[in-house]
């Protein structure tokens, strides 16, 4: 192998590699897609092509001056940025439905995905070449040699360089025509390639050049840079929530709901490592039990009087899907208590008979358990993905007892400014429907106010209506699930930092954080 991998063969291999990266991906995109099909390169395409050109140029330097350390290191460093650019580009479209993408595709794969593959291959090929460069052969001496020696180029290598140069110039010309010379920087969705001056300048703009650098919104995470919402006792924001219902955007609220009672939870509602506090409350009509979920993945079953814990589990929070802060709970069926984290990942625990027990599955899912209890989803923590609300967190979850549907309400932010009502079918735990929450004709919204000012921290379903608890303006919203509209709004009495809601008979049970303690307020139900 050492005899085979001599300087001559290395040069032939490197010349072929230069041709492969410059003539094929850049050349095909430039000539075939650009000139023949009229497909113009977007800004990210330009970044990827430029990085490929730099890698090809370093390959030419190695042919001319030998495989110096600075050239080899340069290939790895530039490929690192190439991987980032290609991943950034691919991520824009990889989440879409099968067959969807941007621009044309080759062998079923779009060009930006091929860029990701190309940079991976470059890194692998360079690492593989390094394995066969020994210090006692000519290539090894070139690496260690301080003096620069100009190597002769054979006809094959000269031909590769000449063709690559033509492609490089042609590509630069195409980029300027499609995206404009400085200070223009290109577009994310360019118009088709043309040499007609009147048309080529119509889509030149400087928007993409400056939006991240001078727009005041630069972020590595982009639209994923959304703050974690207020989680009572766990992630309490400095935001001063307006709890006065008189200041709410709805101008015609119903009469205030009456307070019936208040009681402190009879146990310390913690989760893994003894951390956390109560996060969500639910009531199971089939078993006559309450359920409590804690911010740190604890699940507790209580009797109907909220006096006695009958069963409990501590979920193995560190392993599996990320459930940093749990925010709400509901019953999926009799004895099946499930909870959601603020990022729409759900988990749960269900009471089973002794014949349904699996010791290993139980051990894998729970750090602690009180008896015949199994994980709700076979030990998984399903991702409840969404579309309209994909850039928004949630603090609420409610299961419709009359159907297989589970509902959540999003927390608005600058990237997702509306409250989104999210509907999942629990038969396959997939998105069924998403709707922007709107007011009904009976609701009067004050001038220049919005429904999205409400901050929904919990929800529950009764008689086809979704009851949504809002921390802001201390209000209970009644939402019709058929129309997806807010029908009415009820001011609540002072219930502290309310973040959990359950319905039992003619009462609402509101879980709250009050003076550092987990308490439950019983309030009359509007339904």
Q: What is the mean pLDDT of residues 393-403?
A: 97
Q: Over the stretch 215-225, which tens digit does the pLDDT of each residue have?
A: 555 566 667 77
Q: What is the mean pLDDT of residues 385-409?
A: 96
Q: Over the stretch 460-478, which tens digit does the pLDDT of each residue have?
A: 999 999 999 999 999 999 9
Q: What is the mean pLDDT of residues 215-241?
A: 77
pLDDT, position 472: 96
How do the domains of the chain map onto residue ranges? 7-218, 245-521
Q: Over the stretch 291-301, which tens digit does the pLDDT of each residue have?
A: 999 999 999 99
C-alpha distance from residue 220 to each of 82, 88, 91, 225, 226 (Å): 16, 11, 14, 8, 12
Q: Over the stretch 21-58, which tens digit does the pLDDT of each residue have?
A: 887 888 878 787 777 877 777 778 878 888 888 888 88
The residue with greater pLDDT, 143 or 429, is 429
The yes-or-no verdict on residue 335 having pLDDT over 90 is yes
pLDDT, position 61: 86
pLDDT band at 59 (very low <50, low <70, confident <90, very high): confident
Rg (alpha carbons) of the chain, rounded to whole number = 31
Q: Is the pTM of this model over 0.85?
A: no
Does domain 245-521 fall into CATH 2.120.10? yes
Beta bridge partners of 312: 300
pLDDT, position 12: 78
Euclidean distance between CA atoms 188 and 205, whole angstroms: 10
* Number of CB atoms found within 10 A of residue 96's CB: 10
Ranges 203-207, 257-261, 351-355: which has the least confidence: 203-207
What mean pLDDT, rounded, does the chain reach? Answer: 87
Residue 180 near residue 204 (C-beta atoms within 8 A): yes
Ranges 86-100, 321-335, 374-388: which has the least confidence: 86-100
pLDDT, position 1: 47
pLDDT, position 207: 63
pLDDT, position 400: 96
Q: What is the mean pLDDT of residues 66-87?
A: 87
Q: Over the stretch 250-273, which tens digit does the pLDDT of each residue have?
A: 999 999 999 999 999 999 999 999
pLDDT band at 144 (very low <50, low <70, confident <90, very high): low
Q: What is the mean pLDDT of residues 333-350?
A: 97
Q: What is the mean pLDDT of residues 345-355?
A: 95
Residue 148, H or E segment: none
C-alpha distance from residue 381 to each of 210, 305, 323, 346, 396 (Å): 41, 30, 9, 5, 17
């Amino acid at each position: 192998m050492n005899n085979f991998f001599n300087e001559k063969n290395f040069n032939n291999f490197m010349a072929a590699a230069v041709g492969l990266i410059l003539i094929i991906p850049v050349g095909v995109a430039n000539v075939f897609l650009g000139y023949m099909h009229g497909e113009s390169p977007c800004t990210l395409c330009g970044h990827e092509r430029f990085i490929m050109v730099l890698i090809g140029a370093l390959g030419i330097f190695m042919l001319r001056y030998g495989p110096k350390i600075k050239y080899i290191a340069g290939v790895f460093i530039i490929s690192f940025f190439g991987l980032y650019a290609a991943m950034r580009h691919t991520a824009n479209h990889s989440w879409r439905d099968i067959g969807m993408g941007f621009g044309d595709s080759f062998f079923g794969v779009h060009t930006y995905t091929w860029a990701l593959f190309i940079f991976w291959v470059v890194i692998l090929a360079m690492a593989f070449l390094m394995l066969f460069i020994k210090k006692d052969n000519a290539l090894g001496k070139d690496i260690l040699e301080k003096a620069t020696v100009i190597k002769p180029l054979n006809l094959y290598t000269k031909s590769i360089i000449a063709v690559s140069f033509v492609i490089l110039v042609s590509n630069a010309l195409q980029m300027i025509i499609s995206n404009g010379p400085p200070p223009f920087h290109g577009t994310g969705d360019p118009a088709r390639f043309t040499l007609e001056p009147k048309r080529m300048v119509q889509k030149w703009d400087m928007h993409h050049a400056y939006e991240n650098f001078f727009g005041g919104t630069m972020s590595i995470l982009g639209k994923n840079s959304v703050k974690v919402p207020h989680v009572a006792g766990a992630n309490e924001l400095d935001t001063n929530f307006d709890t006065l219902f008189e200041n709410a955007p709805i101008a015609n609220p119903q009469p205030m709901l009456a307070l019936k009672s208040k009681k402190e939870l009879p146990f310390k509602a913690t989760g893994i490592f003894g951390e956390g506090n109560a996060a969500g409350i639910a009531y199971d009509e089939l078993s006559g039990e309450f359920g409590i979920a804690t911010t740190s993945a604890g699940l507790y079953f209580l009797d109907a009087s909220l006096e006695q814990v009958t069963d409990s589990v501590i979920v193995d929070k560190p392993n599996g899907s990320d459930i940093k802060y749990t925010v709400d709970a509901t019953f999926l069926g009799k004895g099946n208590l499930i909870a959601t984290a603020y990022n729409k990942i759900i988990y749960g625990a269900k009471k089973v008979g002794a014949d349904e027990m699996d010791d290993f599955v139980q051990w894998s899912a729970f750090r602690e358990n009180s008896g015949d209890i199994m994980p709700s989803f076979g030990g998984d923590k399903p991702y409840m993905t969404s579309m309209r609300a994909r850039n928004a967190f949630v603090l609420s979850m409610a299961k419709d007892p009359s159907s297989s549907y589970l509902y959540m309400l999003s927390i608005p932010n600058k990237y997702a400014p509306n409250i989104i009502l999210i509907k999942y079918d629990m038969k396959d735990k997939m998105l069924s429907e998403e709707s922007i929450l709107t007011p009904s004709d009976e609701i009067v919204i004050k001038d220049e106010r919005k429904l999205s000012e409400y901050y929904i921290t919990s929800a529950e379903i009764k008689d086809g209506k979704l009851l949504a608890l809002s921390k802001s303006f201390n209000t209970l919203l009644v939402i019709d699930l058929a129309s997806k509209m807010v029908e009415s709004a009820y001011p609540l009495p002072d219930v502290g930092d309310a973040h959990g809601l359950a319905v039992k008979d003619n009462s609402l049970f509101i879980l709250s954080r009050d003076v550092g303690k987990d308490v439950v307020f019983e309030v009359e139900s509007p339904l």
